[in-house]
């Protein structure tokens, strides 16, 4: 009896310690559960071997082989069952047997690009990517000597999440302890706040909280986010947390709950989320259809891209992906985000498996609801557009960021930032998706936009008839100097829009007076400020 108790105690002790550190979901559909169970079974067999020896046995040089055989059989049986389940489960869940089910994981609707993607004002265009946000965040915390000595900005995958904060594209990242010693010294008050980066203006704010962040992946013991979730939800499978703030600026962790919908381990999808208050640890589970509106990232980008690839590859079954490859397409290898109607949408290009230099279309997916839209837009892949932009400044060796997708004059257009070796944005480029050889470069966003609008109206990209024109009487002319260039702001009697252009557009701007009659060409948008591409005084 003592031998059994000793074996069980050793096994249970190891099982708890292993569970505490590895935190597997106690769920038969989690592969990590079987890995953990395998470890426990092996330890049980080792503990059984140890348990066969007692002081008396050692003195007599005897071994209780009956006890060893009985318990080794049980441990070996568990090992065999775990290995068999993992192997059979993986095979039975393979795409070869369920290509149709994998293809239908994400329903995709065909849509018109210009109907869904409205043209935005240049002041609303997000120009800060994650790398730039990290630089801005580090610079901000470096200004605060009292904080930089104890904290740093968290730069892991769950940080600098792109969200819509009060309808503004924003990246947010929590702070974390500088090291374990600083963590213990500050644990009573928690982490004081988070970094917020406005993606359109590049403004950076350190938001300091009345109640510090006490639950995060950088915390210790039971305040570690993974451990906090596991002991509250022992059977749920979690993946890919993200840090977000609600409309009041309160920080939360958005923790997707995974469900395997095909076979035992296939068809990875999100069935709901657990939202954890980062300050007090309060949490609540929501089914995916009930996720609050302010949440922007219920799905991870990895799951979305994986399901889009399934949708593009398996339209004609699994065998077709190997031999005929009819209508087989995959994502272009990169993605970015758009803000549409206070939601964050992932977009990526689709390219044929036989030709990776051009896209056959674009896919947009809502990161909260998984609504997916497909647009038939042939043209350059995102990486081809980046190469094209870099080629315009190859003498400067600038590197292009992954593009932002825009609608300009009804044309799908990539906006690319060009950075120097220090990671600073030096120029901007607009690249037409369909005619990616047409690139407009400028030192500022407005300059590049003005050049691109000229390309549109010149007929090099689209028919000049697609450009709007207005003729009216000038009521007011104002000027402002931006980035060393003089800009003119013209108001007409028959329009509420304000038309903008630099002096480089036409010298007539310098002598324009109220009561002058002019004809202005422009690309229409929802903004109150419209860039002119031509002006003529009558």
Better pLDDT: 147 or 281: 281
Is residue 174 within 8 Å of 159, Cβ to Cβ?
yes
Please tell me the distance from the alpha carbon of residue 273 to that of residue 277, in angstroms, as a whole number: 13
User: To the nearest whole percent, how much of the chain has pLDDT over 90?
Assistant: 42
Q: Which residue has the higher pLDDT, 98 or 62?
A: 98
pLDDT of residue 51: 56
The string of DSSP codes covering 264-315 is: TTEEEEEEEEEEEETTT--EEEEEGGG--TT---SS-HHHHHHHHHHHHH-T
Q: pLDDT-based confidence at 360, cuts 50/70/90?
A: confident
Please provide the DSSP assignment of 98-128 as one string.
HHHHHHTSS-EEE--HHHHS----GGG----
Distance in angstroms (rounded) separating the CA atoms of residues 405 and 414: 5
Check: CB of residue 173 under 8 Å from CB of residue 165. Answer: no
Contact 518, 474 (CB under 8 A): yes
Output the pLDDT for position 318: 92
Sequence-ordered alpha helix ranges (H) in 160-243: 180-186, 225-232
The average pLDDT across 509-538 equals: 82
CB crowding 397-412: b at 16 or more within 10 Å, else e:
ebebbbbbbbbbbebb
Cβ-contact 254, 295 below 8 angstroms: yes
**pLDDT tens for residues 88-105?**
999 999 999 999 999 999
Minimum mean pLDDT among 132-146, 237-251, 419-433: which range?
132-146
Per domain, the residue ranges of the chain are 2-92, 95-123+306-367, 126-298, 382-457, 467-537
Residue 59 has pLDDT above 60, yes or no: no
pLDDT reported for residue 56: 54
Q: What is the mean pLDDT of the chain?
A: 86
Confirm or reject CATH 3.40.50.880 for domain 467-537, answering yes or no: no
Mean pLDDT of 297-314: 94
Give the residue-averaged pLDDT of 73-82.
85
Long-range contact pairs involving 250-254 (C-beta distance under 8 Å, separation at least 24): 250/277, 250/279, 251/172, 251/174, 251/194, 251/209, 251/213, 251/277, 251/278, 251/279, 252/276, 252/277, 252/278, 253/158, 253/215, 253/216, 253/225, 253/278, 254/295, 254/297, 254/298
**How many other CB atoms sit within 10 Å of the CB of residue 296?**
24
pLDDT of residue 69: 64
Write down the H helix ranges in 52-156. Answer: 55-60, 65-92, 95-103, 113-116, 130-142, 145-148
What pTM did the predictor assign? 0.83
DSSP state of 216: B
Question: Model confidence over 440-476: pLDDT tens digits?
Answer: 898 888 888 888 877 776 655 554 555 678 899 999 9
Residue labelled with tokens 């074996």? 7
Calculate mean pLDDT across residues 284-308.
95
**Rounded Cα gap, residues 216 and 107, in angstroms:** 34
Query: Is the pLDDT at 255 greater than 70, yes or no?
Result: yes
Separation between Cα atoms, residue 367 and residue 388, nearest integer Å: 29
Residue 40 has pLDDT above 50, yes or no: yes
* Average pLDDT estimate for 398-415: 88
Mean pLDDT of the 311-334 span = 89
Cβ pair 283, 229 in contact under 8 A: yes
All residues at 6 or more sequence positions from 477 whose CB lies less than 8 Å from its CB, including other chains? 488, 489, 490, 491, 512, 513, 514
Please report, rounded to a whole number, the percentage of residues in the chain having pLDDT higher than 70.
Answer: 91
Contacting residues for 1 by C-beta, under 8 A, at least 6 apart = none
Q: What is the mean pLDDT of residues 421-433?
A: 88
Determine the number of helices (DSSP H) and then strands (DSSP E) in the chain: 14, 28
């Amino acid at each position: 009896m003592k031998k059994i108790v000793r074996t069980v105690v050793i096994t249970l002790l190891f099982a708890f310690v292993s569970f505490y550190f590895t935190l597997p979901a106690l769920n038969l559909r989690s592969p990590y559960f079987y890995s953990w169970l395998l470890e426990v079974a092996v330890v049980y067999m080792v503990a059984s071997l140890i348990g066969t020896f007692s002081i008396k046995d050692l003195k007599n040089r005897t071994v209780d082989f009956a006890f060893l055989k009985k318990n080794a059989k049980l441990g070996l049986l568990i090992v065999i069952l775990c290995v068999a389940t993992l192997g059979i489960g993986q095979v039975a869940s393979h795409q070869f047997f369920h290509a149709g089910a994998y293809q239908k994981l994400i329903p995709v609707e065909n849509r018109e690009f210009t109907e869904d993607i409205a043209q935005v004002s240049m002041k609303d265009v997000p120009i800060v990517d994650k790398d730039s946000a990290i630089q801005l965040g580090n610079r901000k915390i470096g200004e605060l000597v009292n904080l930089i000595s104890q904290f740093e900005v968290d730069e892991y995958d769950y940080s600098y999440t792109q969200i819509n904060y009060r309808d503004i594209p924003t990246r947010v990242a929590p702070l974390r302890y500088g090291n374990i010693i600083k963590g213990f010294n500050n644990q009573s008050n928690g982490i004081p706040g988070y970094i917020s980066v406005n993606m359109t203006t590049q403004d950076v704010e350190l938001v300091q909280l009345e109640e510090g962040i006490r639950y995060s992946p950088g915390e210790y013991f039971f305040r570690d986010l993974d451990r906090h979730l596991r002991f509250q939800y022992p059977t749920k499978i979690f993946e890919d947390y993200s840090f977000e703030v609600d409309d009041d600026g309160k920080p939360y962790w958005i923790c997707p709950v995974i469900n395997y919908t095909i076979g035992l381990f296939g068809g990875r999808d999100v069935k709901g989320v657990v939202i954890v208050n980062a300050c007090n640890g309060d949490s609540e589970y929501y089914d995916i259809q009930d996720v609050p509106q302010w949440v922007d990232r219920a799905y991870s980008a990895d799951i979305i891209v994986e399901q889009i690839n399934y949708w593009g590859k398996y339209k004609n079954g699994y065998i077709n992906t190997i031999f005929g490859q009819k209508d087989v397409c995959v994502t272009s290898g990169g993605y970015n985000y758009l803000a549409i109607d206070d939601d964050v949408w992932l977009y990526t290009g689709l390219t044929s498996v036989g030709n990776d230099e051009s896209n056959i279309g674009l896919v947009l997916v809502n990161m909260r609801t998984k609504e997916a839209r497909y647009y038939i837009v042939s043209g350059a892949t995102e990486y081809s557009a980046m190469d094209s932009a870099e080629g315009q400044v190859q003498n400067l060796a600038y590197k292009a960021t992954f593009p932002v997708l825009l609608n300009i004059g009804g044309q799908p257009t990539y906006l690319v930032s060009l950075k120097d070796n220090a990671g600073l944005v030096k120029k901007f480029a607009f690249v037409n998706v369909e005619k990616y050889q047409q690139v407009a470069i400028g030192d500022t966003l407005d300059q590049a936009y003005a050049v691109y609008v000229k390309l549109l109206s010149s007929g090099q990209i689209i028919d000049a008839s697609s450009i709007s024109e207005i003729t009216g009487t000038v009521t007011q002319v104002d000027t402002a100097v931006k980035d060393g260039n003089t800009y003119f702001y013209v108001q007409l009697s028959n329009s509420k829009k304000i038309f903008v252009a630099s002096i480089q557009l036409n010298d007539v701007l310098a002598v324009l007076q109220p009561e002058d009659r002019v004809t202005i060409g422009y690309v229409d948008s929802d903004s109150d400020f419209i860039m002119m591409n031509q002006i003529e005084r009558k």
